[in-house]
Structure 1
Amino acid sequence: MNYTPVIIIGAIICVIALVSTIVIGIDPTDQNYKKSTKKRMVILSAIYVVTFVPALTWTVVYYYFLR
């Protein structure tokens, strides 16, 4: 089975989630949102980096070297 479409759809979902998170963080509707947002944004961005970058790296490694 060819998993390329599934991987592309997963990557698109991750990018949409990242952009949505950043947009909400930049222009929130709640007035009390900015009080504790900076720490949460740092943690959430770190989660994205820690999960998305290795997943993309291992996908490239798999398709170009191990297949």
Structure 2
Amino acid sequence: MAGAGDEVAPLAGSVQSVDVTLGQAVKAGDKIVTIEAMKMKTEVHAHGEGKVVAIAVKAGDSVDTGAVLLTLA
């Protein structure tokens, strides 16, 4: 279940890339992850801002809608 600071998958699919690193500062709107679903790539952008304190997925992982991708603090 997602908590404060969690960025979640907007759709189910396969993680193509994680575009941030631990400790990186991100702003709202920055690209954080790319997910492929039905041969279409969808960029996931941060809703908030902060420092990446945890990354819950890696390239190749399958995710469901609402799955936690990473956490910002």
TM-score band, normalised by shorter chain:
under 0.3
Higher RCO (CA-CA < 8 Å; seq separation 6+): 2
Q: Structure 2 length as normaliser, TM-score?
A: 0.21
Q: Which structure's CA Rg is the greater one?
A: 1
Structure with bigger helix share is 1
